[in-house]
Structures are given as C-alpha cells and as structure tokens.
Amino acid sequence: MENVPYSFMLYHTAYEIPWLNENFLDTKGLTSVALGQFWLEIVKQLADNILIPFNIEDYCLALYEFLARANAQMKLEGVTKLINNTKLDLLQESLGRFHKLSIPFQQFINAVNNGKMPISLIKREQINQRLLLLERCFLITNVDKIDENGENRRHSIFSAPIEEENSGYPFPFMLDSVIRWKRAINSNNHFEAKLELQQINLAISWIQYGIECAQDLLKIELDN
C-alpha cells in the first residue's frame, strides 16, 4: 500500500470524491446549498414546533409495509409453515392496536404544533419525553446474548442487514436468520437450521415486545 497521502482510503475520501463533485457533477455548488437548506429546514421544524414532529402514524404505516414484505419473503423461502404462526398473528394484532392508538395521538400533536390547542409546559415535557422514549422501545437491550454481531442488531426494526448488506430488506434482525436458515437447509445442516428457526421466533417476539412497549407510551391522557 502506498504511503499517505496516496493511500487508497485517503485518496478516495479527501481527493477524488470532492474533486469529481466540484469539477464535473456540481460545478456551481448547488448540492451543498441544497443540503444546507435541507438541514436548516429540519432545525426550523424542531425550533418552531412545541412538540417533537415525530409522525407516529407514519411510523405505524411503515411497520405495516415492512411486516408485509417480511411475510412475503418468509413465505418465498418456505419458513412460514415451520414457525409458530400464532406469533405472526399476534404480531399483526399488536401492530393494529398500535396504529389505532397512534391516530388520535398524532392528531393531538398536529393540533398543538399548529396552534389550535394550548398545552401546559409540564404536559409538553411529558409528551416530548414519551416521543423520545418511543424509539427506545425497539432497542434490544441484551444484544451481547444474541450473537457476536449483536451490536449491529440493537434495533429490532431498522438495524443494518448482516447477511446481505446492500439489500435493505425489512426487519433484518429477523430476515438475517431466515437467510442463514435457508443456507443451512441447502447444506443439510439440520442442527443449524433448527437454531435459526428458534432465532426467527425470538425475533418475532422482540418486535412485538417493542410494539407493545410503544403502545404503553401512547396510553396517556391527552387533555391538559
């Protein structure tokens, strides 16, 4: 490897990419201006809104889509018929309850941020704290007990895929195990396949636990 500053990593990060952008892709610097405006708009939204502009209803709709895609993938791989289908049904029901609770809660947030409903300082702090805690509901606390890659799988929904890093499939915490199960079946490693099936069932339980936890945060009185 060549010495600095001609090493591969430094060359690509400090020289090639900015030079290519400035001389060919964006000679007028419009990308930098647009990116700056984007972050300014985010800061403005956070500053102008009394309550954190976190759209819980959209979050639920995304979970619906992710779950549908995950179910389709598991059916395609032939896993669905081997796992506890009751778990999947309970997960779907839990998500439905979460969505039902999210609608009036989001309407309340919109009303407050649009100035249509007054709110006390104490109530504002309480709701903002709950919005911050909502995302934590989906963090897996005992990651060191899951596997050696546990630190990369702390979020039960939005963790980065391990088996296929560039695929971007939903619920990688669960579908990574589906991929490993399929690989074990193809190699006739039945012991490993059994372990991955257990991991899939565990992942479903973790996802439902996060949704149930998020439901509890929404079960509050919204009146001042």
Of 95, 100, 75, 76, the closest CA to residue 85 belongs to: 75
Q: What is the pLDDT of residue 222?
A: 55
Query: What is the value of pTM for the model shown?
Result: 0.73
Question: Tell me: the pLDDT tens digits for 23-46?
Answer: 777 788 787 888 888 888 888 877
191 vs 27, residue with greater confidence: 191
For residue 140, what pLDDT band results from cuts at 50, 70 and 90?
confident
Which superfamily does CATH assign the domain made up of 54-218 to? Transferrin receptor-like, dimerisation domain (1.20.930.40)
Using CA atoms, how far apart are residues 57 and 9, in angstroms rounded to an integer? 42
Report the C-alpha gap between 167 and 150 in whole angstroms. Answer: 19
* Per-residue pLDDT, 146: 47
What pLDDT band is residue 6 in, cutting at 50, 70 and 90?
very low
pLDDT for residue 149? 54
In angstroms, the CA 68 to CA 90 distance is 14
CA distance 209 to 138: 8
DSSP the chain: -PPTTSSHHHIIIIIIHHHHIIIII-TT-HHHHHHHHHHHHHHHHHHH-SS----HHHHHHHHHHHHHHHHHHHHHHT-GGGS-HHHHHHHHHHHHHHHHHHHHHHHHHHHHHTTSS---HHHHHHHHHHHHHHHHTTB-TTGGGT-TTGGGG-BTTTPPPSSSTTT--S-HHHHHHHHHHHHHHHTT-HHHHHHHHHHHHHHHHHHHHHHHHHHHHH-S----
pLDDT, tens digit (0-9, with 9 covering 90-100), for 108-135: 999 998 888 888 888 888 888 998 889 8
Closest residue by Cα to residue 48 from 57, 37, 40, 59: 40
Q: How many CB atoms lie within 10 A of CB 113?
A: 17
Q: CA-CA distance, 81 to 161, in Å (whole number)?
A: 24
The full set of domain ranges for the chain reads: 14-48, 54-218
State pLDDT tens for residues 48-102.
Answer: 788 888 889 999 999 999 999 989 888 888 888 888 778 889 999 999 999 999 9
pLDDT of residue 53: 84
| pLDDT average, residue stretch 129-154 | 72
Share of the chain above pLDDT 70, in %: 83
The pLDDT confidence band at residue 200, using thresholds 50, 70 and 90, is very high
